[in-house]
Homo-oligomer: A and B are copies of this chain.
Amino acid sequence: MSEQKTVAIVGGSGYAGGEFLRLALNHPNLKVTQVTSERSAGLPVTMVHPNLRSRSNLKFTKMAELQDADIVVLALPHGSAAKRIAEFEARGRVIVDLSADFRLKDPEVYRATYGEDHPAPDKLGEWVYGNPELHRAELRDATRIACAGCFATSVILALYPLLKLGVLLPKDIIATGLVGSSAAGASSSDASHHPERAGSLRVYKPIGHRHTAEAQQELPGNFPLHLTAISTPRVRGILTTIQAWIPDGYSDRDVWSAYREVYGQEPFIRIVKVAKGIHRYPDPMLLDGTNFCDLGFEMDNDTGRVVLMSAIDNLGKGTAGHALQSLNIAHGWEETLGLEFTGLHPV
């Protein structure tokens, strides 16, 4: 097909790269030509991503052997992509970075957030923040896509319509994220050791979560945003509850309306607010492998407090799905192409 584009995945032995590989292998317009991994070079990708057995015969190569491709997807540890970005730009016309390197527009904010100077501050302006719901227009024909962070995505998508349309008071907003273990990556550590983690509910970032900067950059208005992150026994998924306040005279209908107005046509946003049954609100259990962001809310009329709920697959809508949706837009393809998986139940 004339439409088919070649893709090289750099750093493809991690979870984000692996998930993008899975999606790309099933995408009709993409052809994966290369997957690099320094640690696993020479091995079949199925040694690391065993779910791809019988689906792919690719072997990992060294990054030094990177060939030209229409699209280069960077799935490297934080800081690595920016340092060698010229190298990757020489290889492909479209670059997608799954790391945090090119998400923040302001080098000062980057420094405050990541504790060091950005390696390529002059490039920051070239990148589009890879959130289709907020940046669809810019994503069309984009050639530099900085994939949004997973926890940030769950926060941004829940808050954006309400802040944009003035349905929230400009006071402290508090987001508590329950995060699966895959968000910490594919490398084992004391913290990820199964006996220490399987039964744990571990507050790993009560304050100072780096995605605060992303969320504040993307969200309209000026308000204090506070994030707390807790790891759970799940492998995938983020459930974020957000505590915010609605102005006097507003009600939960205004929340509904804001979501409808802004997300009414969105293919991957679902408002989940069911009066009965056990699946009344967003739940990451239903989202493994999907590109959905499920949003829900409940309002306390006595106090004006609204509790927003947001669920995603951190590797799907939180990373690789988001990236593929952005690529679909950038190429003018059907936005849902390769992202049709509905999720499983029960699971």
Q: Which residue of B lies closest to A185 (CB)?
A: B195
Q: Which residue of B lies closest to A245 (CB)?
A: B172
Most buried by B among A54, A234, A277, A345: A345
CA distance A325 to B328 in the complex (A): 31
In the assembled complex, A196 has its CB within 8 A of some CB on chain B: yes
* With known contacts A15-B346, A51-B344, A342-B52, A298–B207 Cβ distance under 8 A: yes
Q: Which residue of B lies closest to A182 (CB)?
A: B195
By the criterion CB–CB under 8 Å, are B243 and A243 in contact?
A: yes
Contact of A228 among B25, B274, B307, B311 (CB under 8 A): B307
By the criterion CB–CB under 8 Å, are B234 and A201 in contact?
A: yes
CA distance A274 to B53 in the complex (A): 12
Q: Give the chain B neighbours of A210 by CB distance below 8 A.
A: none
Q: Give the chain B neighbours of A200 by CB distance below 8 A.
A: 283, 285
Contact of A194 among B55, B193, B239, B272 (CB under 8 A): B193
Minimum distance in angstroms from A17 CB to a CB of chain B? 12
In the assembled complex, A137 has its CB within 8 A of some CB on chain B: no
By the criterion CB–CB under 8 Å, are B300 and A226 in contact?
A: yes
In the assembled complex, A279 has its CB within 8 A of some CB on chain B: yes
Footprint of B on A, CB under 8 Å? 15, 18, 22, 25-26, 47, 49-55, 172, 174, 176, 178, 180-182, 186-203, 206-208, 224, 226, 228, 230, 232-237, 239, 241, 243, 270, 272, 274, 276-279, 281-286, 288-289, 292, 294, 296-300, 303, 305, 307, 309, 311, 340-347
Residue contacts A-B, CB under 8 angstroms, 6 given: A22-B345, A26-B340, A188-B192, A198-B198, A201-B283, A203-B281
